[in-house]
Amino acid sequence: MNKKLLSLVLVAALAMSLLAGCGAKDDGKTTTAAPAGDTTTAAAGDETEAAGTTAAPAEGEDTTTAAAAAGNTTGETIKVGYAQVGHESDWRTANTKNYQDVFSAANGYALSFVDCDNDNAAQLEAVRGFIQQELDYIVIAPIETAGWDTVLQEAQDAGIPVIIADREIDAPDTLYDAWVGTNTKNEGITAANWLAEYLDGKEANILVIEGSVGASATLGRTEGFNEVAAEHSEWKILDSQSGDFTQAGGQEVMESFIKSYEGQFNVVVCQNDNEAYGAMDAMKAANITYGVDGDVILISYDATHDGLQYTLDGAINCNVECNPIQAETVAGVIQAMATGGSYEKTTLVEDQAFVAPGITSEYATTMTQEILDGRAY
Ligand code: GYE
């Protein structure tokens, strides 16, 4: 059988098995199969609006996004390079593990994994290394939004498809083939909507510990939160500083906030769980109480396992999820590319939010032990 025919047969078999598995009707609409864990992928039309990512409709007859078909069905090992941000947070550790599990030798992949240690230059070098090694696909979790045009052009010239994952970039979408990630602006909006609901018109004096400077996750969460904050004249953002998405960074920024604003704030927003752990240590040391029974409302993002444990314990009031389980979706896109199938240019991995026991919200789910036990990461 020639290669093209083999691809067609594989795509047809895949489409049939997905249809049989999901009981979906072939109504010409895109179906996105949910990967393992509690990840859900957004249907067509629900694409992110953030800069640098524009959704393109899937071409061709078969519009199945094969997230469920993460395993390589081509019969040949697929070489994938992943230029990972670093190891700054529990979220990142979960994301790395997810890629290593999905892009395993047993699943038919050879994964070249580079931890770029939050260093832009190292990340560009990693991508150039993948191009030199002539890998089949390049996946990039971009540290910063800026500075991508040249290296993406180099990958394109070398004929290597690029998938941008997790975060977003400021580059024309003709320079990469697909994007898979979360809508961090929506996460910011959710956090602020929850706060407005919880405070019900009461004053808020807010301190924000931002993520890494120039990262789309920081920009999105800040923009979304600020958009809602602007509608509340009773809210004041006292200060907003980067804690670099790390526990040490969160602690350091919180210590300096306490020096400058002690007694003046009643809300602390940490743009990830690790920063929240650091902020809690700093508040504890200064005898400042936080959480459901405390003086300070604590909001966090990521909803990793430990973050949700703190939420269940009432130490974090609201934790907005950012789902790190994205490798199945990326592998589905790669499979579609490898077998000549169609795929979404933009796939959104959906998130939800959680609140501490005793809080009910239209924006978030109240934490329980069962929810925590059921989490895959
Ligand atoms: O929230 C943070 C991580 O890019 C969404 O990066 C991701 C963020 C995540 O270090 O913990």
- Tens-place pLDDT, residues 283-337: 999 999 999 999 999 999 999 999 999 999 999 999 999 999 999 999 999 999 9
Interval between CA 25 and ligand 1 midpoint (Å): 36
Same domain, 101 and 218: no
Is 116 touching ligand 1 by the criterion CB < 6 Å?
Answer: no
Is 272 touching ligand 1 by the criterion CB < 6 Å?
Answer: yes
Is 302 touching ligand 1 by the criterion CB < 6 Å?
Answer: yes
Tokens found for residue 282: 């700093």
Same domain, 189 and 176: no
Same domain, 86 and 101: yes
- CATH number of the structural domain spanning residue 255: 3.40.50.2300
pLDDT for 175-225, tens place per residue?
A: 999 999 999 999 999 999 999 999 999 999 999 999 999 999 999 999 999
pLDDT-derived band at 55 (thresholds 50, 70, 90) equals very low
Nearest CA owner, ligand 1 atom 7: 217
Is 221 touching ligand 1 by the criterion CB < 6 Å?
Answer: no
Interval between CA 272 and ligand 1 midpoint (Å): 7
Which residue type is seen at 148? Answer: W
Provide the residue range defining the domain that includes 78. 3-181+324-348
pLDDT for 117-158, tens place per residue?
A: 999 999 999 999 999 999 999 999 999 999 999 999 999 999
State the chain's maximal CA–CA distance in angstroms: 74
- The stretch 75-82 carries a mean pLDDT of 97
CB 329 within 8 A of CB 347: yes
Count up the domains in the chain and report the number.
2
Q: Give which of 186, 248, 239, 190 is closest to 217, Cα–Cα.
A: 186
Angstrom distance (rounded) from CA 376 to CA 141: 21
Same domain, 128 and 219: no
Same domain, 53 and 198: no
Same domain, 34 and 137: yes
Task: Provide the 8-state DSSP code for 279.
Answer: H
Number of H helices, E strands in the chain: 11, 15
Is 143 touching ligand 1 by the criterion CB < 6 Å?
Answer: no
Same domain, 172 and 77: yes
Interval between CA 237 and ligand 1 midpoint (Å): 22
Is 95 touching ligand 1 by the criterion CB < 6 Å?
Answer: no
